[in-house]
Structure 1
Amino acid sequence: MTEEQAKELLQKYLDQQASPQEQKTVEEWYATLHAKDVVLPADRKVAIREQMFIHLQAAMYQKPKYGKVFKLQSFIRIAAAVIITITLGISVWKLNTQVASENQITVVTGSTQKKRITLPDGSVVLLDPSAKLCYPKAFASNNRQISLKEGEAFFEITHQEKRPFTVHTTSGVDIRVLGTSFKVKSYRDSKHIEVAVVTGKVAVSDRKGNLGTLIKDEYLTYDKSAGQAAIGKTKATAFVELAFDGASLDQVINKLQYVYSIKILLNDSTLGKLKTTASFSSKQSAEEILDIICSLHHLKFNASKNHKTFNIYR
Structure 2
Amino acid sequence: MTEEQAKELLQKYLNKQASPQEQKKVEEWYATLNQENIELAADRKAAIGEQMFAHLQAAMRQKPKHGKVFKLQSFIRIAAAILIIITLGISIWKLNTPLKLENQITVVTGGTERKRITLSDGSVVLLGPSAKLCYPKAFASNSRHIALKEGEAFFDIAHQEKRPFTVHTSAGVDIKVLGTSFKVKSYQANKQLEVAVVTGKVGVSNQKGNLGTLVKDEFLTYDKNDGRAAIRKIKASAFIEFAFDGANLDQVITKLQYVYSIKILLNDITLGKLKTTASFSSKQSPEEILDIICSLHHLRFNASKNHKTFNIYR
Q: Does 1:123 align with 2:123?
A: yes
- How much does 1:103 deviate? 1.5
1:102 is displaced (CA, Å) by 3.2
Is contact 2:198-2:236 (8 Å) kept?
A: no
Q: Aligned partners of 2:103 and 2:116: how far apart in 1?
A: 20
Partner of 2:157: 157
- Give the aligned residue type for 1:206: N
2:303 maps to which residue? Answer: 303
Q: What are the ranges of 5 or more consecutive residues in structure 2 without an aligned counterpart?
A: 1-99
Match of 1:207 in 2: 207
Contact 1:217 1:237 in 2 (8 A): no
Once the two structures are TM-superposed, the CA of residue 112 in structure 1 deviates from its matched residue by 1.2
Count of residues in Structure 1 that have an aligned counterpart in Structure 2: 215
Letter in 1 for 2:189: D
Q: Residue type matched to 2:258 in 1?
A: Y
Could you tell me which amino acid in structure 1 is paired with residue 310 of structure 2? F
Return the alpha-carbon distance in structure 2 between the equivalents of residues 271 and 226 of structure 1.
52
In 2, Cα distance between equivalents of 1:306 and 1:299: 22
Distance in 2, Cα, partners of 1:137 & 1:188: 26
The one-letter code of the counterpart of 2:199 is T
Per the alignment, residue 148 of structure 2 pairs with 148
Contact 1:201 1:214 in 2 (8 A): yes
Query: Hey, what's the Cα distance between the residues in 2 that align with 1:247 and 1:207?
Result: 40
Instruction: Work out whether residues 106 and 135 of structure 1, in 8 Å CA contact, stay in contact via their aligned partners in 2.
Output: yes
TM, length-normalised to structure 2: 0.67
Partner amino acid, structure 1, of 2:301: F
Structure 1 residue 309 displacement after superposition: 0.3
Kindly report the root-mean-square deviation, in angstroms, between the aligned alpha carbons of the 2 structures: 1.2
Q: Does residue 1:183 correspond to 2:159, yes or no?
A: no
For residues 43-63 of structure 1, give each alpha carbon's deviation from its aligned partner in whole angstroms, at most 9, with x where no partner exists.
xxxxxxxxxxxxxxxxxxxxx
1:252: which partner in 2? 252
Instruction: State the distance in 2 between where 1:129 and 1:171 align.
Output: 18
**1:170-200 CA distances to partner (integer Å, 9 max, x unpaired)?**
1110001111110000011110100000111
Instruction: Note the residue ranges of structure 1 that are not aligned, 5 or more in a row.
Output: 1-99
Partner of 1:106: 106
CA positional deviation for 1:283: 0.8
CA–CA distance in 2 between the matches of 1:239 and 1:148?
A: 21
Structure-2 residue corresponding to 1:277: 277
Aligned-pair CA distance for 1:233: 1.6
One-letter amino acid of the structure 1 residue matched with residue 130 of structure 2: S
Q: Judge conservation of contact 2:197–2:236 (CA < 8 Å) in 1.
A: no
In structure 2, the residue matched to 1:10 is none
CA distance in 1, matches of 2:101, 2:311: 49
What is the Cα deviation at residue 101 of structure 1? 6.5
Letter paired with 1:285: S
Contact kept in structure 2, 1:223 and 1:229, CA below 8 Å = yes
Are the structure 2 counterparts of residues 284 and 235 from structure 1 closer, same or farther at C-alpha, using a change threshold of 3 Å? closer
Identity %: 82
Give the equivalent residue in structure 2 for 1:268: 268
Query: In 1, are the aligned partners of 2:196 and 2:236 still within 8 Å (CA)?
Result: no
1:25 is matched with which residue?
Answer: none
How far 1:234 sits from its partner (Å)? 2.1
Superposition pairs of residues 25-44 of structure 1, within 5 angstroms: none
Q: Deviations over 1:5-60 (max 9, x none)?
A: xxxxxxxxxxxxxxxxxxxxxxxxxxxxxxxxxxxxxxxxxxxxxxxxxxxxxxxx
Aligned-pair CA distance for 1:236? 4.5
Q: Distance in 2 between matches of 1:162 and 1:297?
A: 30
> CA separation in 1, counterparts of 2:235 and 2:274?
38
2:205 and 2:269 map into 1 onto residues whose CA distance is 36
Match of 1:228 in 2: 228
- Which amino acid is the alignment partner of residue 212 of structure 2? G
Q: Residue type matched to 1:269 in 2?
A: I
Amino acid at match of 1:284: Q
- Preserved contact between residue 145 and residue 168 of structure 1 (Cα < 8 Å): yes
